[in-house]
Chains A and B, each alone.
Chain A
């Protein structure tokens, strides 16, 4: 398969050029008549394929919400070419057999490179460390118990030590569950609408613990989806004194606040919960000054039956693949907070570096993973057009910039919007 993308405007270049792809790699120029397909991008923006270090594909066990096939198609529509599904499937992805099954399904779907995250502890129950070495051989790139954070500091230490033997990053969803029995951020809104609150302290306490362990053991730790001002501040301070801590945030933490929960719309319910404007601004500050290394989606499909219900009963999480880039572009780049190059750092090189995936190269010989976005024209996001099996997005009807026009993974077109 030989592909030519004409009039491409690479995200870090001012003028347009042609991109040549052959045998799955970026290639040197060749004649147009040798190409199987020529696509005129008419000056649209080309970026390396995006990397999502934190998502949920729900397979095995949750196929009624999403499958690896539909989930990776949804990711491709968002411009993603590499994604990392979390292990909270059923059965839990805590052994090589389940990981191999995920890898096999991902290969069959062939929409994205799928790099699974293995469970840090068996059954993600925080007690016994998992078979990280055997899972790494099956394809995992990191370990995490995600929504079931390891509450016992002694076990967390063992997880970090053992994972470091296999050079596997440990990703921790920081939440002290003894403080977080609520359904939304604890504050004026939760009090006003009568919903139990989750304090920012629940997140901050565990971030502090993990930083302390990382510093003491001199082993890296990665903090998942940071949502608080205190978290950003502690991570910034830790980085300044050389602690090997990295972190991510998600688009909802720099675009939404807990005010959105006032109507009990469960599409604004997730863990960690949406915080106040003050915290949202702190997240943007952390993005700007480099404290935050990555933007992940925490893409979390749920069936309507799990979301169309009372607020406190609804499951946590929202879809993210198909809106992440447009939200980042519209609310960070277009507003002048960060440059386009910085956004690509956050959505490609940053996560790729943390997980040592080696993604994002666009030189001749590199895997041809790229995305093309329309940065000029506003579009209205329509949840009914999503490729996910689920519809739990809070962004339906939002007017955004940065619609995906084309996604190419390993030289194969995995998504295209027919113009």
Chain B
């Protein structure tokens, strides 16, 4: 796209010398930066710095709040297969509580008129998510039944240490999207996953690689969506 870019991560910057997030962002801003793309482990970090900067801020994932470009690429992948989102059933299974992907998809898909069902271990279901307009399913089967698209979510294996699930064996047995579960979706349904995937945990490898899987396509669409975000943002900035 003819732009110049620089990567800044906490480990190689003054952030781990104790510099505040705001100071770091201001420094980058003062260098004449047009767009700051920010991924941060704290929810709301991009919202917090944006008002202080001349640069535009793109949220590339903030804590467990949102991951807007992931949702956009997910929706692009669906759009390529749907004539309309109206009335389509989207099933999302896994660690709902910690997932910024779920929150962005819930917002986006609802706007487009789709029905979103979510399911995960009760220990990973956030209180009140039904008020974001999604249906809380009773089981993986209930979530996936008659779905037009099925989305698996990464479960972080460290969460065993927080007692969110007891073992990989048990998660794979009771919460994974198995071929039997996927068969409950509509015949032409397809499978998505935001990556990176724990093979044999949330998805058996056979499912990851199955004909219905569009996981690799999501990656390709990610490039297009993010180019579009930058393109539109720059066009808008140039008008100002």
**Known contacts A122-B166, A128-B163; A162 and B122 CB within 8 A of each other:** yes
B163 partner, pick from A129, A164, A166, beta carbons under 8 A: A129
Q: Is B205 an interface residue (CB 8 A)?
A: no
Say yes or no: B123 contacts A161, CB within 8 Å.
yes
Residues from chain B with Cβ under 8 Å of A153 in the complex? none
Q: A53 to B162, alpha carbons, bound, how many Å?
A: 30
Decide if B166 touches A161 in the complex (CB within 8 Å): no
In the complex, whether A158 has a CB less than 8 A from a CB of chain B is yes
Contacts of A201 in B (CB 8 A): none
Q: Are B161 and A128 in contact (CB under 8 A)?
A: yes
- B163 & A131 in contact (Cβ 8 Å cutoff): no
Question: B122 to nearest A CB, angstroms?
Answer: 4
Are the CB atoms of B161 and A161 closer together than 8 Å? no
Indicate whether B14 reaches chain A with its CB closer than 8 angstroms.
no
One of B18-26, B83-91, B142-150, B167-175 at the interface: B167-175
Q: Assuming A128-B160, A133-B173, A134-B173, is B121 touching A165 (CB within 8 A)?
A: yes
Interfacial chain B residues near A128, Cβ < 8 Å: 160-161, 163, 166
Closest A residue by C-beta to B125? A161
Q: Which of A136-159 contact B (CB under 8 A)?
A: 155, 158-159
A129 CA / B124 CA spacing, docked (Å): 13
> A residues within 8 A CB of B123?
129, 158, 161-162
**Chain B residue with minimal CB distance to A121?**
B163
A368 at the interface (CB under 8 A from B): no
Interface assignment of B228: CB less than 8 Å from any CB of chain A: no
Chain A residues contacting B162 (CB-CB under 8 Å) are: 158
Q: A133 to B162, alpha carbons, bound, how many Å? A: 18
Say yes or no for B210: interface residue by CB 8 A criterion: no
A127 lies within 8 A of chain B by Cβ: yes
| Cβ B170 vs Cβ A131 within 8 A | yes
Cβ proximity bits A101-132 to B, threshold 8 Å, 1 near / 0 not: 00000000000000000000110000111111
**Chain A's interface: helix, strand, loop or mixed, by majority?**
helix
Q: Mark B102-134, 1 if CB is under 8 A from A, else 0.
A: 000000000000000000011101000000000
Instruction: Kindly report which residue of chain A lies nearest to residue B164, judged by CB atoms.
Output: A158
Residues of B within 8 A of A121 (CB): 163
Interchain CA distance A378-B169 in the complex, whole Å: 55
Minimum distance in angstroms from B163 CB to a CB of chain A = 4
Contacting A at CB under 8 A, from B160-198, are 160-167, 169-170, 173-174
The complex places the Cα of A164 from the Cα of B166 at a distance, in Å, of 14
Q: How far is the CA of A122 from the CA of B170 in the complex (A)?
A: 13
Bound Cα distance from A155 to B164, whole angstroms: 9
Q: Are A131 and B167 in contact (CB under 8 A)?
A: yes
Check B164–A134 contact: CB distance below 8 A.
no
Q: Give complex CA distance A155, B165 in Å.
A: 11
Chain A hits for B169, CB < 8 A: 131, 134
A131 contacts B122, C-beta separation under 8 Å: no
Interface size on A, residues (CB 8 A): 18
Shortest CB-to-CB span from A153 to chain B, Å, is 12
Instruction: List the B side residues contacting A130 at CB < 8 Å.
Output: 166
CA distance A162 to B175 in the complex (A): 12
- How far is B164's CA from A122's CA once the two chains are assembled, in angstroms? 13
B122 touches A164 (CB 8 A): yes
Inter-chain CA distance A165–B140, complex, in Å, is 11
Counting chain B CB atoms within 10 Å of each CB, which of A121, A127, A162 scores highest? A162
CB distance from A386 to the nearest CB of B (A): 38
By beta carbon, the residue of chain A nearest B171 is A133
Which residue on B lies nearest to A154, using beta carbons? B163
Instruction: Closest A residue to B124 by CB, please name it.
Output: A161
The minimal Cβ–Cβ distance linking B198 to chain A, given in whole angstroms, is 18
Q: Which residue of A lies closest to B160 (CB)?
A: A128
A129 to B121, CA, bound (A): 12
Q: How far is the CB of B152 from chain A (nearest CB, A)?
A: 18
A121-B160 Cα distance, complex, nearest whole Å:
12
The docked-state distance in angstroms from the alpha carbon of A134 to that of B165 is: 12
The chain B residue with its CB closest to the CB of A160 is: B122
Are A162 and B121 interface neighbours, CB within 8 A?
Answer: yes
A133 to B139, CA, bound (A): 13
Enumerate chain B residues within 8 angstroms of A129, measured Cβ to Cβ: 123, 163, 165-166
Docked complex: B52-98 residues within 8 A CB-CB of A: none
Residues of B within 8 A of A122 (CB): 166
Cα A167 to Cα B5 with chains together (Å) = 53
Contact indicator B122/A132 (Cβ below 8 Å): no
Complex Cα distance A133/B167, Å? 10
Contacts of A132 on B, CB cut-off 8 Å?
166, 170
Interface of chain A residues 179 through 238 with chain B (CB within 8 A): none
State in angstroms the CA–CA spacing of A121 and B165 once bound together.
Answer: 11
Residues of B within 8 A of A133 (CB): 170, 173-174
Does the CB pair B170–A158 fall under 8 Å? no
Question: A134: which B residues are within 8 A, CB to CB?
Answer: 169-170, 173
Which residues of A sit under 8 angstroms from B122, Cβ to Cβ?
161-162, 164-165
Contact residues in B for A166 (Cβ distance below 8 Å):
174
Which B residues lie within 8 Å of A158 (CB)? 123, 162-164
A133–B170 Cα distance when bound, in Å, is 7
List of A residues within 8 angstroms of B165 by Cβ: 129, 162
Q: Which residues of A contact B170 (CB under 8 A)?
A: 131-134
Give the chain B neighbours of A159 by CB distance below 8 A: 163
Q: How far is the CA of A133 from the CA of B169 in the complex (A)?
A: 10
What is the CA–CA distance of A164 and B138 in the complex, to the nearest angstrom? Answer: 11
Given contacts A155-B163, A161-B121, A161-B125, 9 further A-B contacts (CB under 8 A): A128-B161, A129-B163, A131-B170, A132-B170, A161-B122, A161-B123, A162-B121, A162-B166, A166-B174
Which chain B residues have a beta carbon within 8 Å of chain A's beta carbons? 121-123, 125, 160-167, 169-170, 173-174
Q: List 5 A-B contacts (CB under 8 A).
A: A128-B160, A128-B163, A133-B174, A134-B173, A165-B121
- Hey, which bits of chain A sit against chain B, CB under 8 A? 121-122, 127-134, 155, 158-159, 161-162, 164-166
Q: Which 7 A-B pairs have the closest CB atoms?
A: A161-B122, A158-B163, A133-B174, A131-B166, A129-B163, A131-B170, A161-B123
